[in-house]
């Protein structure tokens, strides 16, 4: 048993998020929705921030609060954090957990044809906005907390026709490690998850054209050593681990959840 006594605590206490206030960006569907659902199940007070106003009904079904939010808009981010800080009924506006999940999808076409405007948009949403959201969340964690950034296996291995996306997610990994070093002394753990190909509405939409031309998307999604399709809940379970006291000594880590596709 270590000095802080965690070794004596029962397992259920280590995954209990009761009393914690969490903000999940892009929580209206796919991975974000699955993360929000697991956090609610673990006892957290959850706020879903999403650009899609229809996500409000998803939040209500989960028992979560909702904030309409474009993460590239600083005022929207501040307002979403206000909602999350007040969701648990506390007066101080602090939060405990941020899941930096919102982002845009990878299809860029050939790098020879990608425009500067497209690359700038990809970096603005997937890097600059994640940076500023993490920064503002950290300001509201005076007693420590947890930030989970959503990266991708594209940050590790790249890939044809996803050059701008790969660059943006590699930057997320670098930011995660830098944040972990800077915020660790304040008791804020910062980690990232690198999902493999996950069966989400966004992935289906991105591959619709290829699907129409005969691509076996189910085979692509399950193209990993486990031969199992990646499910949003696979990522949600990883996020729950990182947010919980099971991961109390995990900081600056990139957790790859891809069925072994990059093994």
CA 48 to CA 65: how far, in whole Å?
6
Residue given tokens 């944040």 in the structure block: 179
Do 30 and 50 form a contact (C-beta atoms < 8 A)? no
- Our answer to whether residue 105 is catalytic in this structure is no
Closest C-alpha among 238, 65, 22 to residue 151: 238
* Cβ partners under 8 Å of residue 89, min gap 6: none
Q: Which residues contact 5 (CB under 8 A, 6 or more apart)?
A: none
104 in Cβ contact with 122 (< 8 Å): yes
CA dist 14 and 16 (Å) reads 6
Angle ∠(170,175,176) on CA atoms, nearest 5: 95
Burial 12-50 (b: 16+ CB within 10 A, else e): eeebbbeebbbbbbbbbbbbbbbbbbbbbebebbbbbbb
**Catalytic one of 39, 165, 179, 241:** 165
Active site residues: 165
């Amino acid at each position: 048993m270590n000095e802080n006594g965690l070794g004596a605590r029962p397992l259920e206490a280590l995954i209990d998020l009761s009393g914690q206030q969490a903000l999940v960006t892009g929580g209206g569907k796919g991975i974000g929705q699955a993360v929000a659902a697991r956090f609610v199940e673990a006892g957290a007070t959850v706020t879903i921030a999403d650009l899609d106003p229809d996500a409000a009904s998803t939040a209500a079904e989960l028992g979560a609060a909702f904030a309409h939010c474009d993460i590239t808009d600083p005022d929207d981010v501040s307002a979403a954090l206000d909602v999350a800080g007040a969701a648990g009924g506390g007066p101080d506006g602090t939060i405990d957990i941020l899941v930096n999940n919102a982002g845009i999808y990878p299809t860029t076409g050939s790098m020879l044809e990608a425009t500067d405007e497209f690359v700038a948009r990809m970096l603005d949403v997937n890097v600059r906005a994640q940076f500023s959201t993490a920064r503002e969340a950290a300001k509201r964690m005076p007693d420590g907390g947890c930030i989970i950034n959503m990266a991708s296996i594209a940050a590790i291995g790249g890939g044809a026709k996803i050059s701008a996306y790969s660059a943006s997610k590699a930057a997320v990994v670098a930011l995660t490690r830098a944040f972990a070093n800077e915020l660790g002394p304040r008791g804020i753990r910062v980690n990232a998850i690198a999902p493999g190909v996950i069966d989400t509405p966004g992935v289906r939409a991105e591959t619709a054209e290829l699907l129409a031309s005969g691509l076996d998307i189910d085979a692509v999604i399950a193209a990993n050593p486990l031969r199992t399709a990646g499910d949003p809940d696979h990522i949600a379970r990883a996020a729950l681990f990182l947010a919980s006291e099971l991961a109390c000594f995990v900081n600056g880590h990139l957790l790859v959840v891809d069925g072994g596709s990059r093994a």
